Amino acid sequence: EAGVAQSPRYKIIEKRQSVAFWCNPISGHATLYWYQQILGQGPKLLIQFQNNGVVDDSQLPKDRFSAERLKGVDSTLKIQPAKLEDSAVYLCASSYRGDEQFFGPGTRLTVL
């Protein structure tokens, strides 16, 4: 069974630029999560989708972050414009039943 795929693995941008991350969940997993993991901290949930509907986005900074999951399969997370404090690893995870998550390798973003 293929795991959760994410791209790119690494991204370096300057502040005020925009960036997008892509995630393809495990086939058949209805729930998809985006997390932000700052160095030395645990993952912080940004947004959770159930199929193509949003379940929770209370911690998503909506003035600069956006996410979509068209057709209930793969998803993109966008940051526009980026700030220095957005430097982090962005993790995507998917779940079949919602009580066990499978994580992708993450995208390491550096904002200069």
Partner 1 sequence: GNSVTQMEGPVTLSEEAFLTINCTYTATGYPSLFWYVQYPGEGLQLLLKATKADDKGSNKGFEATYRKETTSFHLEKGSVQVSDSAVYFCALFSASGGSYIPTFGRGTSLIVHP
Provide the strand spans (E) within the chain. Answer: 5-7, 10-13, 19-24, 31-37, 44-50, 53-56, 65-68, 75-79, 88-95, 102-103, 107-111
| Cα separation, 22 vs 42, whole angstroms | 21
Give the interface with partner 1 as residue ranges (CB under 8 A): 4, 31, 33, 35, 40-45, 48, 50, 55-56, 91, 93, 95, 98-106
- The minimum distance between CB 101 and partner 1, in angstroms, equals 7
Nearer to partner 1 by Cβ, of 64 and 108: the residue is 108
Instruction: Using the minimum distance from each CB to partner 1, give the nearer residue, 17 or 21.
Output: 21
By C-beta, is 24 or 101 nearer to partner 1?
101
